[in-house]
Amino acid sequence: MILAAIGLLVLLLALGLPVAAVLGMLGVSLSEIYSTLPLSRAIGEIAWTSSNGFLLMSIPLFVMLGEVLLRSGMADRMYGAMMHWLSWLPGGIMHSNIGACTLFAATCGSSAATAATVGTVALPQAKKYGYNERLFLGTLASGGTLGILIPPSINMIIYGALTDTSIPKLYLAGIIPGLVLAGMFMLTILIACIYKPSWGGRPFETDWSKRWRSLPDLIPPLIIFGVIIVSIYAGIATATESAALGLAAALALAGFRGTVTLDLLRQVMEGTMRTTAMIMLIIIGAFFLNFIMGGIGLTAVLNNSILSLHLSPYGLLLAVVIFYVILGCFMETLSMMVTTLPVITPVMVAAGFDPVWFGIVVIILIEMALITPPVGLNLYVIQGIRTSGSVTDVIIGSSPFVVTMFLMIGLLALFPEIALMLPSLALSP
């Protein structure tokens, strides 16, 4: 049964069908083959119950927030400021790529949006200053993944909804790992450019007066991040309500700069509806597949298969890491989360792992899936905004950062406090 389901999944994905359609077709097929009951008729009720949750309302709000930042020009100005402040390091503007992705991630919640926004602004600098193009592309694809680790994060909201884990705790748990991983990305660039100085391109000319003048361009993202985070932990708003407050702050800042027009609002609404529809269709398809898997007993078979291995807790963790790395090569990240977490998270919690800590590990594994071929979304996002070349360049440039993510997971395994310190301090009674 398991092999048949995996085989059918791979076949449908290989045909190039949309992920949401693949999940729905797989659910219907499994129901027709293995169930004596008409389970597939429940699709209508599942579509309603899986998409009307208050928590999921934050998804379109965060998507719209990212659209406002992108189309109002705030992201462009933020990147320019990062160039002035970080380009003195070996690797130059590539450090600005990571810094800009980190700051944009603190307002956006989406990896694809982070990679696309910073990539659009940054890519012209690669040829202009003579950088190694592959490494430069890798910094954009991998830096973009920070969009789902540093709060606010759409994927953390989905993890919390699927596993009944506190969103405020997940948000706090992602801050330090997100900053540490960004620092490790910069260290990777530093090592590469010390090894091959020619990869670091020509210096970007700046001075202290330009640096100080660029500081105001870093303020809007910090204000939005502050509004979202403070409103949650001051008890003013829930995670969904904080997304609305962040969006209101972004619109107010864009209005203050005089960039809010009817055309901008139309573009923001169109981009938001397109992205939200894609995300919600995947969620509905994945919830339907989960229902079918439970109805035919496949979920219980998977649980028993994992438990029958009799692995130690860290052996189980290693098996889960390998499982997600392999699955991430063939499956879109959102559907991967929705289809696997209801099965795997209870097993990991039963083995003694904290669900908040495991959530951060899963998010890093999801980040890894975004830059591993052949399905890695960020690889194609960055390739899509280039004017020439092959996606192979982006894949090769991203590979050192995949290794960095493995090291980050190792650090979290050795020192769980990296993720758990802030939640325990801030939310302790």
Structural domain count of the chain: 1
pLDDT at 416: 96
pLDDT digits (tens, 9 = 90+) for 145-158: 998 899 888 889 88
Q: How confident is the model at residue 113 (pLDDT cuts 50, 70, 90)?
A: confident
Please report, rounded to a whole number, the percentage of residues in the chain having pLDDT higher than 70: 91
Residue 165, Cα to own-chain centre: how many angstroms? 18
pLDDT digits (tens, 9 = 90+) for 334-374: 777 877 888 889 889 988 999 999 999 999 999 998 898 87
- 374 inside domain: yes
pLDDT at 302: 67
Minimum mean pLDDT among 74-88, 106-120, 248-262: which range? 106-120
3-class DSSP state for residue 33? helix
Decide which of 353 and 241 is more confident: 353
Residue 154, Cα to own-chain centre: how many angstroms? 7
pLDDT at 19: 65
Please, are residues 379 and 141 in contact by the beta-carbon 8 Å criterion? Answer: yes
- 223 inside domain: yes
**Mean of the per-residue pLDDT values for the chain?**
85
Q: How far apart are CA 20 and CA 210, in angstroms?
A: 48
Tokens of 258: 């005089």
pLDDT digits (tens, 9 = 90+) for 393-409: 999 999 999 999 999 99
Q: How far apart are CA 109 and CA 151, in angstroms?
A: 7
Decide which of 180 and 37 is more confident: 180
- pLDDT at residue 429 greater than cutoff 70: no
- Residue 8: Cβ within 10 Å count: 16
Helix axis angle, 391-414 to 133-144, nearest 10°: 50
- 193 inside domain: yes
Decide which of 426 and 255 is more confident: 255
- Report the pLDDT averaged over residues 178-188: 96
Q: Is the dihedral of CA 26, 28, 32, 37 positive or negative?
A: positive
Highest mean pLDDT among 124-128, 295-299, 300-304, 313-317: 313-317
- 254 inside domain: yes
Please report, rounded to a whole number, the percentage of residues in the chain having pLDDT higher than 90: 32
pLDDT at 13: 62
pLDDT at 3: 66
- pLDDT at residue 125 greater than cutoff 80: yes
Q: Is the dihedral of CA 363, 402, 412, 97 positive or negative?
A: negative
Residue 18, Cα to own-chain centre: how many angstroms? 20
- 41 inside domain: no
- 172 inside domain: yes
- pLDDT at residue 239 greater than cutoff 60: yes
- pLDDT at residue 388 greater than cutoff 60: yes
Spatial neighbors of 93 by CB under 8 A, at least 6 apart, are 83, 86, 87, 122, 125, 129, 131, 201, 204
Q: How confident is the model at residue 201 (pLDDT cuts 50, 70, 90)?
A: confident
Decide which of 280 and 5 is more confident: 280
pLDDT digits (tens, 9 = 90+) for 57-92: 777 887 788 788 878 888 888 888 998 998 888 898
Highest mean pLDDT among 18-27, 31-40, 170-179: 170-179
- 27 inside domain: no
- Report the pLDDT averaged over residues 185-211: 90
Decide which of 427 and 61 is more confident: 61
- 226 inside domain: yes
Q: pTM (2 decimals)?
A: 0.81
- Structural domain boundaries enclosing 406: 47-426
